Amino acid sequence: MRSRARIRLHPAGPVLLALAAAGTVLAAPSATASPPEPSSRADLRADVNRDGQVDISGTTDETGEDSWSVGRGAVYLPNLDDDTKRCPVTGPGGRRLSDAELAACDDGADKKVNGAADAADLARVRSVPMPDLAADARGSLKITTGAGHTHVFLKHSGTWVLVTPRTRLTAAELRSGVEFGVEATDVIRDSAKWDGRAVIRLTVRSAGGSTSDSVTLRVAPLLTQHHLQDTQQVMVTKVRGGGAYGRLQRKFVKDLGKEVTKAGITKPLVTFDKYGDPWAQDFVEPAYVSMTGPGGHRQVMRVLLRSAQLDREAGRELFEKVRGRNIGVVQVTDRARPDDWSLNSMGNLETIPPYAHGGRSFPAGRIIMGRRKDSGARPSKAMRTLLRSQGLQDPLLLDTSWLGVGHVDEFVQFLPAGTPRGWRIGIADPTSGLRLLRDARRDGHGRTKMFSVPGLNGEPAPKETIDQALASRHLVADNEMAARRIAANLEILKRETGITDDEVVRVPALYTRESEAQNGRGRPVPVPRLTRLGAGSALADALREHGRQKWLAGKGPNARAAAPATVTTSAYVPGAVNGVLLGRDRYLAPRQWGPVIGGKDIFTEAVTATYRQAGLKVSYIDDYYTYHLGMGEVHCGTNTLRDASAAWWQLPRK
């Protein structure tokens, strides 16, 4: 039960009142003080049990109101959206706003409630009516913890008014009970500086004495999505302009729209079209915050987490186009020089679905990110600090040293499953990829072309055969290396989650070493191998030129060479694990374009059978020239907004 006190005046009364005003709750000597009657003592309540109601007549919201845990405690939202679209996207005369100016505006940045929609983002706090209060009584409210990150509003005659140190509550208001609305002005950036708590204290004073009470709230954690949440909308970049790449990429967007509709997703694609960065997975990670609103309905705000790459202009479009009602944006600024720019792309952030293992519980899932163990490079410290500070998804680092781009989405995924755990791990399997080629050669098909992709715009198709691929100086050794590295990462995942070999889906894959040095800036377009696309061809030049101009411009303070410590690789055959889960049983993979034997693509057949055995229907989309040659796939070029209405503090029911 909370500590409450009502202090009656005696000869030392002014001293006691001064202490109470300074924040001290005193227990006066028994001869001069007595416990207040329930109807005359301050009693502040918040939605501690998270049912969407503030209980002022019973006791359901009393236990634990001065503390906070994952399972119990009042929650309030960081009000980062723009419900009335008031935030400017250009300055006077169309001046380009800076990144800082774009990020400075949201509904929590001002000191008012921006309409009825914004009021829904306020967590409610109420005072229990005090019907016996004296006529001279006055009340005040103070944020004793978290004041620099919190706004409290008073509902007065149907209007929300900011509570300030000068705000006074009348005896009439206190007798009937007062309603407050609470918002945070930001997410937790660093728990060492602010742990997200707000402590709000109501003090009531009269000639007869003083009484105080406090409640504790914590800002809702910023959480990334996982694959047990249903896909509601798909995002993709639509590249403007002519040329080979633009035409191919717009066809990809059109084909993607058809696949999304076939999967039963009714909302239209969200298309980024201003900055020409085709890697929609990389400049943003969709996340969310939520609390239980009035009536028990979840109040969800999407928060788009911009990659810690402020020289990557595409992230600006999150503010300029997407931010709005129930959609906010968080921008992370890391002044430190990155060890590896590419590691800060959001394709290097995925989320394990909810689980409990080894005495630890992750009801909202757990983040994984890649690091380069061989060189010691890690993602942005500011980003890792922010993610860790939420307190629920403790980022787990895997080793992506062996990958040229270095993103976890290149070799691992998480798939819904009708199992007690509710999900499986999908993992790229170079061993089975090599086996497919060796079996084909054994059966007399060694002279079959390795790739069945057609030529384009008069350019010849790749001519390499299965025999030539297996005779390659590096292909076999590099895939054996990749298999070892993937196995080591899988062991980490098994140890941390308790997943078993029976819950691992092994998807055929092949990798190849890069053909030119990387500059550490995202997903470079390598010089295509002679056997895949003729060097010096017009299309090869167009792809490379598009890469240089659009997303590898080498501008900004972070553009520098990054010599890999080891041989690094990317997908040889389009990486099937680098696809998009469109529904709990529908998976969109990159078209394989593998060897065709007996009228069937042997990689497509193997990949389809693998996913079908895991309970998924697979469809394919061609990304060979648009994304695959740029060292990415369908997943790298798209993003998803998922259903975030479930309670993040509860493990999903089995």
Q: Is 466 found in the same domain as 537?
A: yes
CB 83 within 8 A of CB 166: no
pLDDT of residue 308: 96
3-class DSSP assignment, residue 549: helix
Distance between CA atoms of residues 605 and 595, nearest Å: 11
Closest CA to 403 of 348, 477, 346: 348
Q: Is 290 found in the same domain as 165?
A: no
Q: Is 604 found in the same domain as 480?
A: yes
pLDDT of residue 363: 97
Closest CA to 491 of 478, 481, 474, 504: 504
Q: Is 591 found in the same domain as 458?
A: yes
pLDDT tens profile 612-650: 999 999 999 999 999 999 999 999 999 999 999 999 999
> 116 CB contacts (<8 Å, ≥6 apart)?
none
Q: Is 590 found in the same domain as 578?
A: yes
Q: Is 374 found in the same domain as 237?
A: yes
Q: Which of 219, 254, 284 is the last residue of a domain?
A: 219
Pairing of the two strands 150-156 and 360-362: unpaired
pLDDT tens profile 125-169: 999 999 999 999 999 999 999 999 999 999 998 899 999 999 999
CB 346 within 8 A of CB 284: yes
Distance between CA atoms of residues 365 and 357, nearest Å: 12
CB 218 within 8 A of CB 184: no
Distance between CA atoms of residues 43 and 419, nearest Å: 47
In a domain, 316, yes or no: yes
CB 431 within 8 A of CB 438: no
Q: Is 336 found in the same domain as 191?
A: no
Give residue 54's domain range.
5-79+122-219
In a domain, 484, yes or no: yes
Closest CA to 129 of 67, 74, 204, 200: 204
In a domain, 253, yes or no: yes
In a domain, 374, yes or no: yes
Q: Is 230 found in the same domain as 186?
A: no
CB 576 within 8 A of CB 433: no
pLDDT of residue 13: 33
Distance between CA atoms of residues 486 and 427, nearest Å: 8
CATH code of the domain covering residue 138: 2.60.40.1700
Q: Is 297 found in the same domain as 211?
A: no
**How many residues belong to the chain?**
654
In a domain, 112, yes or no: no
pLDDT of residue 457: 77
Distance between CA atoms of residues 288 and 302, nearest Å: 4
**pLDDT higher than threshold 50 for residue 390:** yes
Q: In which residue are the tokens 């054994």 written? A: 442
pTM of the model: 0.89
Tokens of 615: 């309970």
3-class DSSP assignment, residue 535: coil
pLDDT tens profile 407-449: 999 999 999 999 999 999 999 999 999 999 999 999 999 999 9
CB 194 within 8 A of CB 78: no
In a domain, 101, yes or no: no
Torsion angle (degrees, nearest 10) of CA 437, 438, 444, 450: 20
Tokens of 222: 């910023």
More confident residue, 652 or 506: 506
Q: 115-126 in b/e burial notation, b at 16+ Cβ within 10 A?
A: eeebbbbbbbbb
Q: What is the arithmetic mean of pLDDT over 76-88? A: 97
pLDDT of residue 597: 98
Q: Is 597 found in the same domain as 538?
A: yes
Question: How many Å separate Cα 64 from the centre of its chain?
Answer: 29
pLDDT tens profile 232-284: 999 999 998 878 889 999 999 999 999 999 999 999 999 999 999 999 999 99
**pLDDT higher than threshold 80 for residue 183:** yes
3-class DSSP assignment, residue 403: strand
Q: Is 228 found in the same domain as 208?
A: no
CB 382 within 8 A of CB 334: yes
Q: Which of 200, 219, 238 is the last residue of a domain?
A: 219
pLDDT of residue 397: 98
Q: Where are the beta strands (DSSP E) in 567-637?
A: 569-571, 580-583, 586-590, 596-597, 600-601, 617-621
pLDDT tens profile 580-589: 999 999 999 9
Q: pLDDT-derived band of residue 514, with 50, 70 and 90 as boundaries?
A: low
Q: Is 248 found in the same domain as 213?
A: no
In a domain, 84, yes or no: no
Q: Which of 219, 240, 255 is the last residue of a domain?
A: 219
Q: pLDDT-derived band of residue 566, with 50, 70 and 90 as boundaries?
A: low
Closest CA to 352 of 522, 503, 138: 503
CB 441 within 8 A of CB 448: no
pLDDT tens profile 305-321: 999 999 999 999 999 99
In a domain, 106, yes or no: no
How many CB atoms are located within 10 Å of the residue 481 CB? 18
Give the bridge partners for 369, in sequence order.
Answer: 349, 397
DSSP string of 307-342? -S-TT-GGGHHIIIII-BTTEEEE-----SPPS-GG
CATH code of the domain covering residue 489: 3.75.10.10
Distance between CA atoms of residues 582 and 265, nearest Å: 8
Give the bridge partners for 512, in sequence order.
Answer: 570
Residue 63's identity, in one-letter code, is T
Pairing of the two strands 270-272 and 231-237: parallel
Number of domains in the chain: 2
DSSP string of 140-168? EEEEEESGGGEEEEEEETTEEEE--TT--
The CA radius of gyration of the chain, in Å to the nearest whole number, is 29
**pLDDT higher than threshold 80 for residue 394:** yes
